[in-house]
Structure 1
Amino acid sequence: MSGEIDDSMDIVDEKSSCIVRQFRLLSSAQRKITLGEILSCCTSEEISYIDQKLPDFLYRDFVTTLPLELAERFLEYLTVKDLLTACRVSKPWNRIISGMKIVWRNHCLKFGCNPVTISLSYPKNTCIRGMQIQQDLCDGSAWTQDAIVNLVKSPGRFSALHHDRGYIAGGTSDSIHTHANQDSSESVVIWSVENSSVVVSFPVSGSVSCIKLNYPSLVVCGHFDGTLSSHQVSGNTESDITPGGLLNKFRLHTAPVLSLDFDESEDVLISGSADWTVKVWQLSTGSLQRTISSHSHWVLSVIFTPSSKHNIQNLSGKDIVVMMTRDDIQMYSWIHFLKDNGESLKGLNISDIHIPLKSVTDAVQSFFFTPGLHFDGKTISFVKQMPMFDSHTFGDADIVTIDAESGQLVQSVHINQKIRKLLAIGSRFAIILLPYVDSKFKNLVVVDLKYEKIVGGCTVPHSRATTPDFSQVCTGKLDWLDGFSDDSTNGLVCCLGLQDSSMHTVVWS
């Protein structure tokens, strides 16, 4: 019996082989006709069998069958949302796609994740986090806001702010004169962002135009009367100086001090004034070391960088100050005055780099420059834009970055907005303040420098400028401007001093 079955199977196999050979000899059109005839002869059971077999031919599982390198080349064209959907198809797909490190890393970089912090073993999680941050920025939920009130009495207001290590120093102006000699009752308040509390508050001698904090040791104020004052923050039991105690008074400017910078370890204070000069002071003694007076307008911003904190090779070993007026940006350098008894300061008549900002065509200025000068130790960044009517919202602006050593253009990022101030800039993102229009318009926004687009932000209350450089606005932690990471997307983003005597904080959610 078994022999007869074997013989019949051999006959079937032989006939099948013969049919297949004959089918292969047919043309494409003949094959279609033949298949139609065969299907018309099939029973429902045979049709069901064909239906079960067709997916094996029509839908190839290229994820599991192709070499990993080829599968990655196909999948890199999918969006992250599509990749996450594909991961839910099956366990093998999830294992293979989740392990495609190159694909996920490339998407991480697109979302602005910091390349240094991308997980080497499992970049998928970093990518998902980057996508969430970008989405939150886009819909305005990445940051939370809070109004800090009752720190000063109206009509006093915070005219100058600075943030350092989780603390905000605020200096006031326009406070009520309470004494017979008309001394002002202006004050400095230092606020802990983490604890939401005042650390120290103390009176100062005049309205504060600009301020810088080095927590927990020192805060320096510039004043509208042309003076500067330095104050102890935490107090000093050895010298009996209480918190807020006056250390030094700097008195030789003849117009409001509009900007300042200092380095306590280098014992240097730099101030820029509306008297068209920049002054170099010894911070600990209050003595004037040098006046740089080759300027054609108010000095809006100064940035001091010690020799140990910049990467300009041809100025190695020298301290640097970068300054900005309405007309130009200049950089001066010198050997630290304590090393050569101030000899190098005597030669500060010619700048090491000069960037003219005034462009005149037919006696009409063709573009102007907004507040916000930045120097990262290698490059200088600022904003230029075309003039517009005050009622216009959209503008024609460029965030410009110049190599400080060669003076050559590094990048120019075009933004189709009217920019009020460049608050801060990093290697990947910049944060800018736009003109206030209405409550629905985001005016504190993040710019993706790589793709030259605004990726999100939030709406903050209108803040009237107290100085040409908007001293009443300060930024918080800036690590995230070099790329998002869990360590960088926390803490203070920005703080503004408002007309209603309050401070307004923007913090990462």
Structure 2
Amino acid sequence: MDKTSFEGWLESVSTTFLSLNDQQRNQCLDHLISLSGAVQLRHLSNGLETLLKRDFLRLLPLELAFYLLRWLDPQSLLTCCLVCKQWNKVINSCTEVWQSVCQELGWKIDESIQDASHWKVVYLKARLRMTQLKDQEAFETSSLIGHSARVYALYYKDGLLCTGSDDLSAKLWDVRTGQCIYGIQTHTCATVKFDEQKLVTGSFDNTIACWEWCTGARIQQFRGHTGAVFSVDYNDELDLLVSGSADFSVKVWSLSAGSCLNTMTGHTEWVTKVILQKSEVESVVHSPGDYILLSADKYEIKVWPLGREINCKCLKTLSVSEDRSISLQPRLQFDGRYIVCSSDLGVYQWDFASFEILRVIKLQDPANLSLLSFGKVFALLFDNHFLYVMDLRTEVISGRWPLPPYRKSKRGSSFLAGVTSWLNGLDGGNDSGLVFATSMPDHSIHLVLWKENG
């Protein structure tokens, strides 16, 4: 059939085909397919794939493609990246999609970073960490050896760990290398806190002392407590030091002069923790920017003004039972907005603006399970056998790590959490360094550290 005759025939067939109903059209196509050979069937297959399997992601404007992608769960997004290079390119160029994925999982978001590949890597690293936590592969351990008697006090800051021992010494360690940077002769240390220049120690001999790291010299001594000093905190800008003692009192001192400025009374048990911290919220008793003093004993948490007036009154007393039937554990935490403390029932969180209990997390075995640190996304807990990471969004244990038989301390000074920024959400870079430290019966320090992320 020549070209002109074929075109005329094709037009006539097309007109007739369009006049048929759907069933007749299907029968017509079935008949033509049955008459077709391999060449025609291959042509038909290629044509149908183009018509039916249209790449909507490639054809849509980017704004619409990004909108659709935001409805997918993270695993589906990763699967879509494997479809083809074009899909991978589109998905990897959408910053909002990966920021949203990270935000939904609780990860920390820096809005100034608009690189989509950065947020994809953050998600992949965080997912890997969560898998490692579940499989007990996220951490590794090491030991610090150097003390010759029991280690009573630990304090961690910026990669450095200070230890105070019954061998009348305090040591400063580089956690990363395990090397002792400074070692100075002190009194028996029940609590320690340090910065780059100095070390402040509270002792079982009822005194507090300030020491210079580079020389080991005692540059100030604070006398006035009639019981062991279990907790200290200080602020150079305010030139203030605060202390809590077994004599049931809290004292405020001049850090430079060593003189006692004020004594707060009202506790009826050992004061095992004091915190000097700036408030970030407003209430009827304080404003943002005010420095607040918190103290805790076995049953109560007290909030004090930081004025220097004699016999100043407690602003607020917090407890979890009026009849003192429930004990608080010596792990008080305050970040300027929330007060967190664990008890024999579970973990309690108070709003510092209203002093109302915002949250109570019931623990499976609260008598043995203790709080180490509390963040926005995770909490770090431990008992006699394991270190636990709890996801605070679900209150489910995400992972655990075995612990050796460490030395027990009712005051909670012989174990601590290390780096805690990751508790507010993993950001791809804050899962490094010290996680947990505790003193051992052989006078060594047992460290749990993040394993390098693969």
Q: Given the two structures, how large is their TM-score scaled by the length of structure 2?
A: 0.88
Matches within 5 A, 1:469-480: 469-480=411-422
AA matched with 1:482: N
What does the per-residue CA deviation read over 1:12-59, in whole Å, with 9 as the maximum and x for residues that have no partner?
A: 13202321331xx235xx666665555444444433333333433543
Supply the distance in 1 between the matched residues of 2:350 and 2:222 (Cα, whole angstroms).
33
Q: How does 1:266-277 map to 2 (within 5 A)?
A: 266-277=238-249
Q: 1:115 aligns with which of 105, 109, 114?
A: 109
For residues 382-421 of structure 1, the C-alpha deviation after alignment (integer angstroms, 9 at most, x for no partner) is 22443xxxxxxxxxx3x33222122133444455454633
Question: CA separation of 1:368/1:248 partners in 2, compared to 1, >3 Å: closer, same or farther?
Answer: same
Q: CA deviation at 1:469?
A: 3.1
Change (3 A) 1:21 1:195: same
Question: In 2, are the aligned partners of 1:371 and 1:421 still within 8 Å (CA)?
Answer: no
What is the DSSP-based 3-state SS (H/G/I as helix, E as strand, rest coil) of the residue aligned with 1:269?
A: strand
Supply the distance in 1 between the matched residues of 2:86 and 2:257 (Cα, whole angstroms). Answer: 71
Give the match's secondary structure for 1:249: strand
Unaligned runs of at least 5 residues, structure 1: 174-184, 235-242, 336-341, 387-396, 438-442
Structure 2 Cα separation of the partners of residues 465 and 115 of structure 1 = 38
Match of 1:191 in 2: 173
Residue 211 of structure 2: SS of its match in structure 1? strand
Cα 1:85–1:319, aligned 2, differ >3 Å: closer, same or farther? Answer: closer
Matches within 5 A, 1:193-342: 193-206=175-188, 208-214=189-195, 216-234=196-214, 243-305=215-277, 309-313=278-282, 314-316=285-287, 318-335=290-307, 342=308
1:106-185 mapped onto 2 (5 Å cutoff): 106-116=100-110, 119-122=113-116, 123-149=119-145, 151-153=146-148, 156-173=149-166, 185=167
Q: Are the structure 2 counterparts of residues 273 and 117 from structure 1 closer, same or farther at C-alpha, using a change threshold of 3 Å?
A: farther
> Which deviates the most, 71-80 or 218-227?
71-80
Determine if contact 2:297/2:328 at 8 Å carries over to the other structure. no
Counterpart CA distance in 1 for 2:365 and 2:104 is 23
Q: In structure 2, what is the equivalent of residue 238 of structure 1?
A: none
SS at match of 2:262: strand
What amino acid sits opposite 2:53 in the alignment? Y
Which residue identity does 2:147 align to in structure 1?
A: V
The equivalent of 1:240 in structure 2 is none
Structure 1 residue 260 displacement after superposition: 1.6
Note the C-alpha offset of 1:377: 1.5
Structure 1 pair 44–279 and aligned structure 2 pair: CA distance change class (3 A) = same
Counterpart Cα distance in 2 of 1:187 and 1:320: 31
Does the 8 Å CA contact 2:297/2:330 hold for their aligned counterparts?
no
Measured after TM superposition, the shift of residue 77 of structure 1 is: 4.5
Distance 1:331 1:86, change over 3 A: same
Q: Which amino acid aligns with 1:310?
A: S
Deviation, 1:195, is 3.8
2: CA distance between counterparts of 1:287 and 1:487? 43
Matched, 1:502 2:450: no
Instruction: Compute the RMSD of aligned alpha carbons.
Output: 2.7
Aligned to 1:56: 50
1:58-137 equivalences in 2 (<5 Å): 58-116=52-110, 119-122=113-116, 123-137=119-133
In structure 2, the residue matched to 1:17 is 15
Q: Separation in 1 of the partners of 2:306 and 2:147?
A: 41
CA distance in structure 2 between the aligned counterparts of 1:127 and 1:118, rounded to whole angstroms: 17
Q: Structure 2: how far apart are the matches of 1:261 and 1:411?
A: 27
Q: Quick check: 2:293–2:306 contact (8 Å CA) kept in 1? A: no
From 288, 295, 312, the counterpart of 1:348: 312
Q: What amino acid is the match of 2:55?
A: D
- Distance in 1 between residues matched to 2:369 and 2:242, nearest whole Å: 25
Equivalent position to 2:379, from 426, 430, 435:
430
Please give the secondary structure, in 1, of the residue aligned with 2:114: coil
Report the Cα distance in structure 2 between the residues aligned to 1:385 and 1:86, rounded to whole angstroms: 48
Structure 1 stretches of at least 4 aligned residues deviating more than 6 Å after TM superposition: none
Could you list the runs of 5+ residues in structure 2 that have no partner in the other structure?
none
- Change in 2 beyond 3 A, CA 1:436/1:205: closer
Q: Is the 8 A contact 2:363 2:369 kept in 1?
A: no
The equivalent position to 1:381 in structure 2, one of 327, 340, 347, is 340
1:69–1:384 distance in 2 versus 1, CA, 3 Å: farther
CA gap of 1:318–1:49, structure 2 versus 1, over 3 A, is closer
Q: What percentage of residue pairs aligned between the two structures are identical? A: 27
SS of equivalent to 1:369: coil
Letter in 1 for 2:404: P
Q: Counterparts of 1:13 and 1:469 in 2: how far apart (Å)? A: 95
Amino acid at match of 1:373: L
AA matched with 1:11: W
Shift of 1:171: 0.7
CA contact (8 A) 1:413 1:452 kept: yes
- Residue by residue, what CA displacement relative to the aligned partner does 1:76-108 show, whole Å, maximum 9, x if unpaired? 454434322322222211111112222211211
